[in-house]
Structure 1
Amino acid sequence: MKVSELLSSRRKNWQELDRLCSQLEHSRKGKLSAPVLARFAARYRATCADLALAESYQLPPNTIQYLHQLVGRAHNQLYPSRKFKLGAWRHELLHGVPQRLFNDPFLWLAFLLFWGMFLLSMFLAAEKRLPGGMQPPVRNYAEMLIGEAQLEQYQNNFSEPLAGRDPNLSAMMAGFYIFHNTGIGLKCFAGGLVFGIGGLLATTFNAAYLGAVFGFMLRVPERENFFEFVTAHGPFELTAIVLSAAAGLRWGFSLIDTGGRSRIDALRHGLRQAMPTVGTAIVLFLLAALIEAFISPSALPYQVKAGVAVLCSGLLVFYFVLLGWPRGATNATG
């Protein structure tokens, strides 16, 4: 049989594929039966082979053009492009992500660990007398943890009242803060890979260190300048550190509870689950860096900076608690 005759004999297959393409173009794939979809895939593969044969034997251009168009239509139905759907993204950002975060046990663990250690370390470093005149349980706690030289550097940095910065310098410092802040978050996240232990240690150390700095600055003359600087960007930055730690814990725990998967597959699965937490942390780090560069060192009144902190804290509560509060069926993070 000649090639032209062979291809002519397959015209019924092309017509069927054409009809199936029209059917798919006006229907959702989920509404079509499995046998219909299987037949469509088989006709698509066969028509691709027919097109290659037609081009090899240089059949009439109209036949080749028809097959090209048919294969193109079928390909678009078999491998559709993912269109950006604003409604789907809005629902995911305002419902899916906050509810998964609210119900994430690793986030609650990181939250309690970080803030518990932060407040304890801050109390020890402040060296406040206890009720009844009792001495603080640890003397020179901040000096032992951070070092006297570093503490002196903190005092020198805030020895002068904040008087604002040159806009060009603020823009440069924004880049530095982004790099520095994300570096802290990356350590907390990557540390979780060691079965979650590294993430716990990194979170504990960062909380203890930051708490000691805050506590030490409470008892030195430079405290007003220090707290005027950290107030505005603190809510976003500290929350981002907690989120980074939570993502690292989830990723590391996937090596312990593999769910029957191989270690590599479990890591991939854990990383996919941690992505909403990582993405939220990145956004907060970026926002914190911008506030730290442009608002925190400015000469704005402290009331304005405190107002920024209250607004940021309110947004965090709104996003994580009000939007994340379970409605009906709980969104599982697993």
Structure 2
Amino acid sequence: MDIDAFITAHRPVWDRLDHLVNKRSSLTGDEVDELVDLYQRVATHLSIVRSSSKDQLLVGRLSALVARARSAVTGAHTPAWRELVRFFTVSFPVVAYRARWWWLASTLAFLVVGSVMATWVAGNPEVQASIASPDEITQLVEHDFADYYSENPAASFASRVWINNAWVSAQMIIYSVVLGLPIPYVLYANAENVAVSAGLMASRDKLDIFFGLILPHGLLELTAVFLAAGVGMRLGWTVIDPGPRKRVEALAEQGRAVMSVALGLVVVLFVSGLIEAFVTPSGLPTGARIGIGVLAEVVFLAYVIVFGRRALRQNETGDVERAPDVAPTA
């Protein structure tokens, strides 16, 4: 092949493609069509040159041009940092905010059931006797309840708490595949565990110790559990009432969005685990420890409300960008 003749014949095409790539942000419809056509033609030219010529300079030039044109035609991959920023400023908070009523309902149900059950345990010696012997209750109230938070090294304890709480929250979301029906039971089981401890502590006038040890980390920890329950049940309800979209499309969108919550709660529960390991058993005054827990809770709720409401106003759903089942196709 006469490489000089080849270059002379096709240089205008290459120059035109280079021009279109450089102004890709302001192309007209006809120019976009031309860009696609020239990209395909120059890709063919590159293949011919590679197989018929040893001119590495030409191969390099055409390779770079084709790569730039491909990026203009198909779109560049979103940088990882941008995806991370979008996750924390859009995806996670908007899904949490959209599920706020389910989230609130889970919270209220837990508090009502837990309060009633704790009062019942605290005021009935027969119920207490069915749970444990008087000596065992004394051991729990005087020693075991408080020792639980300090008997292990803080770092390993934080890891164990984090994994356990992440698993509880993950269960809530996993159960959404069966319409979220087991989620109320999981909430009830957790409410029962907290209520029994609260009732036994109250029966021995140790409720101040109970709240002093539970509130620093429990506010954020339980909020994460309630959020997981809320989005899990909301996803289950989507199967029953998908809205204006097809059921499969609505379920796919909500399923992908819920995964944002699952990943976001890993971070939230990590913070909760750190508080439980390093703040709850610390020598700080009770008011200071509770204050740290309240601050963490307020910051998290404010974050969800501010970023979630803003994303909702921008019609964000928390779904991934360019979702495969809703992406435009020719």
Q: Structure 2-normalised TM-score?
A: 0.77
- Choose between structure 1 and 2: higher helix proportion: 2
Q: 1:34 to 1:217 in 2, by over 3 A?
A: farther
- 1:112, 1:296 → 2: CA distance? 28
Write out per-residue CA displacement over residues 18-44 of structure 1, whole angstroms, 9 at most, x where no aligned residue. 1111222xxx2xx42233222212211
* Structure with more relative contact order (C-alpha pairs < 8 Å, separation 6 or more): 2
| Aligned with 1:46 (options 41, 47, 52) | 41
Q: 1:160 to 1:202 in 2, by over 3 A?
A: closer
Match of 1:108? 101
**Within 5 Å, which residues of 2 pair with 1:284-323?**
284-321=268-305
Write out per-residue CA displacement over residues 165-208 of structure 1, whole angstroms, 9 at most, x where no aligned residue. 48x81111111011111111111111111122233332343334
Match of 2:327? none
> How much is the aligned-residue C-alpha RMSD, in angstroms?
3.8
What is the letter of the counterpart of residue 302 of structure 1? T
Q: Do the aligned residues in 2 keep the contact of 1:125 with 1:215 (CA within 8 Å)?
A: yes
**Within 5 Å, which residues of 2 pair with 1:143-154?**
147-148=131-132, 152=136
Structure 2 residues not aligned, in runs of 5+: 319-330
- 1:33, 1:274 → 2: CA distance? 38
Q: 1:35 to 1:85 in 2, by over 3 A?
A: farther
- 1:308, 1:291 → 2: CA distance? 8
Q: Do the aligned residues in 2 keep the contact of 1:174 with 1:290 (CA within 8 Å)?
A: yes
Structure 1 residues not aligned, in runs of 5+: 130-134
**Within 5 Å, which residues of 2 pair with 1:65-84?**
65-78=60-73, 79-83=75-79
Match of 1:125? 118
Q: Do the aligned residues in 1 keep the contact of 2:113 with 2:191 (CA within 8 Å)?
A: no
Q: 1:43 to 1:332 in 2, by over 3 A?
A: closer
Match of 2:322? none
Q: 1:85 to 1:271 in 2, by over 3 A?
A: same
By how many angstroms is 1:161 displaced? Answer: 8.6
Q: Structure 1-normalised TM-score?
A: 0.76
Match of 2:18? 18
Equivalent pairs: percent with the same residue? Answer: 21
What is the letter of the counterpart of residue 220 of structure 1? R
Q: Count matched residues.
A: 313
Write out per-residue CA displacement over residues 46-76 of structure 1, whole angstroms, 9 at most, x where no aligned residue. 2112111111112533322321221132233
- 1:84, 1:154 → 2: CA distance? 54
- 2:176, 2:312 → 1: CA distance? 32
Match of 1:58? 53
Counterpart secondary structure, 1:197: coil
Q: Do the aligned residues in 1 keep the contact of 2:179 with 2:239 (CA within 8 Å)?
A: yes
What is the letter of the counterpart of residue 80 of structure 1? A
| Aligned with 2:223 (options 226, 239, 249) | 239
What is the letter of the counterpart of residue 40 of structure 1? L
- Which aligned segments of 4 or more residues in structure 1 are displaced greater than 6 angstroms? 88-92
What is the letter of the counterpart of residue 60 of structure 1? D
Counterpart secondary structure, 1:193: helix
